[in-house]
């Protein structure tokens, strides 16, 4: 069974349109994609989805609940329906770079101990690039950045937890750790972090997939009380997160990606500088 892309539909139709366009352009044809709407999408978002479904080369399905059950319970319902498959949860405002999914899948194939794989993101906190822990601008040349990511050695360093712009979850690790906790968390962002910490408690690693990139305009938002609930359940998580942000163990990897990105965009920039002059117009 191949990887399933789960995309919980949000309320921002412009971001959704951009997400679906990038997903189509950067993902191999016939990839399974499930667009699941917890009764959130308005008329324009539904029109965007219908148009995309009519033209996509991906193996896509769209479901919509008549009545909302809450984003955590809804995503948990989606995950349970996928049984033991590997699943990548993609935020509805994410902008996947070309090849993103194949590199996440290669990350799992390379190391069976990885329970969750998170790609780089300009707004990815511990997986943020080029500056750690900041909301950086969306990169202009995602194709060049994807090429630079793919050239990095696949070391897959460990993260304090999954980051939820895009996260690939191993099917058997997810099944053994249990479902999402809809009673303790209001946002699926926090519930996925909790799930990744439970997987880590069972021996799997939450790893950075440094060969993949998924952009995003902003970080995912937790509901009121979610971070406190995470800190109470996992008292070691916040200190580990703080130590990671202060110690910056990914500095060399980010610098290598920055250098590769600059080299990838240099020919384009130089081409603009050294373009031949336009030929003079012939006299009338």
Domain harbouring 31, CATH code: 3.90.550.10
Q: Quick check: helix, strand or coil at residue 94?
A: strand
Query: Which pair of structure tokens corresponds to residue 71?
Result: 């984003």
* Predicted pLDDT at 221: 84
User: Is residue 67 within 8 Å of residue 32, measured between CB atoms?
Assistant: no
* Count: domains in the chain: 1
Q: How many CB atoms lie within 10 A of CB 162?
A: 28
The reply to whether 137 falls in a domain is: yes
Enumerate the H helices of the chain as residue ranges: 13-26, 43-55, 71-81, 100-110, 142-150, 171-177, 188-201, 226-233, 237-247, 251-273
Asked whether the beta carbons of 71 and 188 are under 8 A apart, the reply is: yes
Q: Which two tokens stand for residue 102?
A: 């194949």
- pLDDT tens for the chain, residues 1 to 284: 689 999 999 889 999 999 999 999 999 999 999 999 999 999 999 999 999 999 999 999 999 999 999 999 999 999 999 999 999 999 999 999 999 999 999 999 999 999 999 999 999 899 999 999 999 999 999 999 999 999 999 999 999 999 999 999 999 999 999 999 999 999 999 999 999 999 999 999 999 999 999 999 988 888 999 999 999 999 999 999 999 999 999 999 999 999 999 999 886 555 454 445 555 555 54
Q: Supply the pLDDT for residue 281.
A: 53
Q: Indicate whether 46 belongs to any domain.
A: yes
> Is 175 domain-assigned?
yes
- The SS3 call for residue 152 is coil
State the residue range of the domain holding 81. 4-269
**Has residue 195 been placed in a domain?**
yes
Alpha-helical segments (H) within 88-187: 100-110, 142-150, 171-177
In a domain, 281, yes or no: no
Question: Is residue 235 included in any domain, yes or no?
Answer: yes
Q: Is 2 left (phi over 0), alpha (psi -120 to 50) or beta?
A: beta
Please report whether residue 274 resides in a domain.
no
């Amino acid at each position: 069974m191949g990887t399933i892309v789960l995309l919980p539909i949000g309320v921002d139709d412009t971001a959704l349109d951009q997400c679906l366009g990038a997903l189509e352009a950067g993902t191999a044809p016939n990839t399974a994609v499930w667009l699941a709407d917890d009764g959130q999408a308005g008329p324009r978002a539904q029109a965007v989805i219908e148009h995309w479904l009519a033209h996509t080369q991906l193996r896509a399905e769209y479901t919509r609940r008549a009545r909302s059950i809450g984003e955590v319970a809804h995503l948990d319902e989606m995950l349970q329906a996928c049984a033991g498959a590997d699943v990548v949860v993609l935020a509805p405002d994410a902008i996947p770079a070309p090849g993103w999914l194949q590199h996440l899948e290669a990350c799992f194939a390379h190391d069976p101990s990885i329970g969750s794989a998170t790609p780089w993101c300009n707004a990815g906190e511990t997986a943020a690039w080029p500056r750690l822990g900041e909301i950086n601008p969306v990169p202009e040349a995602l194709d060049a950045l994807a090429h630079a990511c793919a050239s990095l050695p696949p070391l897959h360093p460990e993260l304090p937890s999954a980051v939820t712009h895009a996260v690939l979850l191993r099917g058997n690790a997810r099944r053994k750790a249990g479902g999402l906790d809809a009673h303790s968390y209001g946002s699926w962002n926090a519930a996925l972090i909790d799930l990744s910490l439970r997987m880590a408690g069972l021996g799997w690693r939450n790893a950075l997939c440094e060969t993949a990139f998924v952009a995003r305009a902003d970080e995912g938002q937790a509901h009121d009380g979610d971070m406190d609930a995470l800190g109470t359940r996992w008292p070691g998580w916040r200190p580990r997160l703080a130590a990671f942000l202060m110690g910056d163990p990914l500095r060399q990897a980010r610098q290598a990606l920055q250098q590769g990105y600059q080299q990838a965009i240099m020919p384009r920039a130089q081409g603009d500088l050294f373009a031949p002059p336009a030929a003079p117009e012939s006299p009338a």
